[in-house]
Structure 1
Amino acid sequence: MTAIAQAFSRYLPPKVVTNDDLSKLMETSDEWIQKRTGIKERRFVEAPTTTSDLAVEAAKGTLEQLEGKPVDAIIAATLSPDFDFPGIGVLVQTKLGLPEIPAFDIRNQCSGFLYSLELAKALVLQKQYERILVVGAEVHSTGIDLTSRGRDIAVLFGDGAGTCVVSAEEHASSRIPALRLLQSEMHSDGAHASKLWCQHIGSAHFPTRVTQELLDEAKCFPTMEGKKVFEHAVKRMVEVSHSVLAKEGIPASKVRLVVPHQANLRINTMVGDALGVPGDRLFNTIERYGNTTAATIPIGLSHALMEVPLHPEDYILSCAFGSGFTWGATLMQVV
């Protein structure tokens, strides 16, 4: 018995924000951004669209492919919920008009979708649930510092959502290939938490979580030690990818497609080079969407499964690295 990830779908808000658009808000340029990140444009929401709204739009495409078969749980990965609490899982449930099924929220940032697949796989194989809606969704545009002060982070991020269903049954629709979930491996190392984080709002602040000092010091915006994050991302994504391939007993040359997290095009190129994966087998969306953290992998898979010629038993590898630090990899196979 194996778990299947199927009915991939995505939703990107219609507003396109180019590098030239950002250069009107901060000291940057299209050339500077592309050279360092590979990003040409990203999507931003417009009021009053929220993270759960993006998730719902993506989920509608997933549920349509199920041809009336119900889901009985939701796992939602995000670092940008609509509210401090509750999480977006329950909001997705009610906005979709689903019955009172359980809704989990996963807070593993850029690794969140792979962590969610791991949890969903375990739950369906234990026969706890039949079909789990797995969500990766983010709205970054309202939580980043769109000034020269925040440039190094602000140019990276975009908004979007991707979804799928994990079950123990065969694919429900022939429109988009399904993926058998094979090997996976997840890791964390909280010793590096401060290298990429957002301090506000958090219970570490006394005597109250909201102070003028926090606002004045821009601690309500994310900060990053870019060089450290870059180095760790490449190292860890390569390590964990090699590990899951070894568990399956196949070399990287057998992988038809690598769909990695989309943090930086240079990171992905270096990961591909270290794995011995040529550029035509490395699938990227960062040029058009930027970094949508927990949504990058489901968005990427939804594109790849529709756009790349694939055959049954082709291997697809996804790997991710994010704040925490957290990282992981999942090896899949076309059904």
Structure 2
Amino acid sequence: MTAATVRLADVSGYLPGEPVPAGYYTDYPGAEDRLRNSPMFKIPSARHHVADGESNTDLVERAVQPLLERQGRDAIRAVDVLLVHSQLPDIPFVGAAGEIAHRLGLRPRWMLDVANGGCASFVHLLELARQILTTTDARTALLCNAQTAAGQLFTQDRVRGLAHAAIPGDGCGVAYLTTGAQGSPVLGLRTRHIPQNAGEMTLVRDDGRRYWEAGQAQPRIGFTESGVTKVLDRGNRLVPEVVRDLCRDLGKDSADIDVLVTNQPNRLFLESWRQALGLPPERHPDTFDRYGNLFGAAMPITLDHAVREGTVPQGGLVVLGGFAHAGDYAAAAAIRWQGRA
């Protein structure tokens, strides 16, 4: 039996609140850090923050609204597969998938919260969904990438003045997949796990306590100058490598890519990836200055942004690519864009 073709039928994004200007961080008393001049931490013009008490589920519910309007409430409620990546879980022990299903009125056969994949988690979710949709009787899937760390972790009063705090933004991207006749076919995927790098992204507190232990120090990402150098080197290399591998699988060259949608970590990476793959800026949507680093939500939000701006051509080869954390995962996916189903 021939495996069903998995198609991206629709994609949508949501940004919470009003844009937060760079001055929110740069004008903060004591805002100074030895990493401030690193190309890794050049500040975007704006980003969005979740409101106090706003959850991953809240963001997903708002991001899904355009899908309900375009695809119909019954179609979304009937999804067989729900996959969720939350990049700051609301509570330690339970992911958001169950609450999302309840809030949206879903009854999926498959429901998974995925912790790994980081900034490339959208491709990770896409790969998992394709595996389920082509090997079971499931026929539709809803993928959800929610990012809420910016307005919670990075706005703490003892973290806000650090160089890395000004880079992230909050938002949510969602996608609806189907094995039906309508939508943009997924042509291929390439993923690489690099386990030796998995322990290099750390959450630290200056008093040495772990994040759940009581104390005065606030949790932050444990960036060091040597660690930043490693991440820059790996990121510059990993994304072009995995994109080229995928293009070879398809019998294509990177120059054949009509739209490259990547995660949006900083200007340096975006420019480096374009140059390495020989693509002009107009074929690589850039949302960094508007939304900051959206982590795992960046790919679906940026794709939705490009579609709404009319820069994704009908029949175009769209490649999604990115890397995660300190370089423990890299992934790419190719889609033949046929518009929203």
Assess same fold via TM > 0.5: yes
Cα distance in 2 between the residues matched to 1:146 and 1:231: 31
Q: Could you say if the C-alpha distance between residues 229 and 131 of structure 1 is closer, same or farther in structure 2, counting changes exceeding 3 Å? A: same
Matched, 1:197 2:202: yes
AA aligned opposite 1:308: G
Matched, 1:322 2:324: yes
Contact 2:25 2:161 in 1 (8 A): no
Structure 1 residue aligned with 2:81, among 70, 73, 80? 73
| Partner residue, 2:66 | 61
Shift of 1:313: 2.5
Shift of 1:15: 2.8
Contact 1:13 1:45 in 2 (8 A): yes
Does the residue aligned with 1:8 lie in a helix, a strand or coil?
Answer: strand
Matched, 1:155 2:166: yes
TM-score, normalised to structure 1, is 0.87
| Partner residue, 1:42 | 47
Shift of 1:309: 4.0
Q: What is the count of residue pairs matched by the alignment?
A: 320
Cα distance in 2 between the residues matched to 1:209 and 1:231: 29
Q: Could you say if the C-alpha distance between residues 126 and 199 of structure 1 is closer, same or farther in structure 2, counting changes exceeding 3 Å? A: farther
| Partner residue, 1:117 | 126
Q: Could you say if the C-alpha distance between residues 294 and 35 of structure 1 is closer, same or farther in structure 2, counting changes exceeding 3 Å? A: closer
Contact 1:52 1:82 in 2 (8 A): no
Contact 2:142 2:175 in 1 (8 A): yes
Contact 1:114 1:330 in 2 (8 A): yes
Aligned counterparts, 1:113-152, within 5 A: 113-140=122-149, 141-144=151-154, 145-147=156-158, 151-152=162-163
Report Cα offsets for 1:268-296 as digits up to 9, x if no partner. Answer: 11011000011111111111111111100
| Partner residue, 2:190 | 185
| Partner residue, 1:223 | 222
Matched, 1:8 2:21: no
After TM superposition, the structure 1 stretch with the greater mean CA deviation from structure 2, 74-83 or 189-198, is 189-198
Does the residue aligned with 2:263 lie in a helix, a strand or coil?
Answer: coil
Shift of 1:165: 0.9
Contact 1:259 1:301 in 2 (8 A): yes
Structure 2 residue aligned with 1:27, among 27, 31, 55? 31
After TM superposition, the structure 1 stretch with the greater mean CA deviation from structure 2, 35-44 or 66-75, is 35-44
Contact 1:258 1:283 in 2 (8 A): yes
Matched, 1:166 2:170: no
- Unmatched 5+ residue regions in structure 2? none
- Unmatched 5+ residue regions in structure 1? 172-177
Report Cα offsets for 1:97-131 as digits up to 9, x if no partner. Answer: 22364321111211111100111111112243111
Contact 1:196 1:229 in 2 (8 A): no
| Partner residue, 1:294 | 296
Contact 2:145 2:296 in 1 (8 A): yes
Matched, 1:284 2:298: no
Cα distance in 1 between the residues matched to 2:109 and 2:153: 30
AA aligned opposite 1:129: A
Cα distance in 1 between the residues matched to 2:146 and 2:160: 26
Q: Could you say if the C-alpha distance between residues 209 and 14 of structure 1 is closer, same or farther in structure 2, counting changes exceeding 3 Å? A: closer
Cα distance in 1 between the residues matched to 2:43 and 2:160: 21
Shift of 1:234: 1.3
Shift of 1:148: 6.1
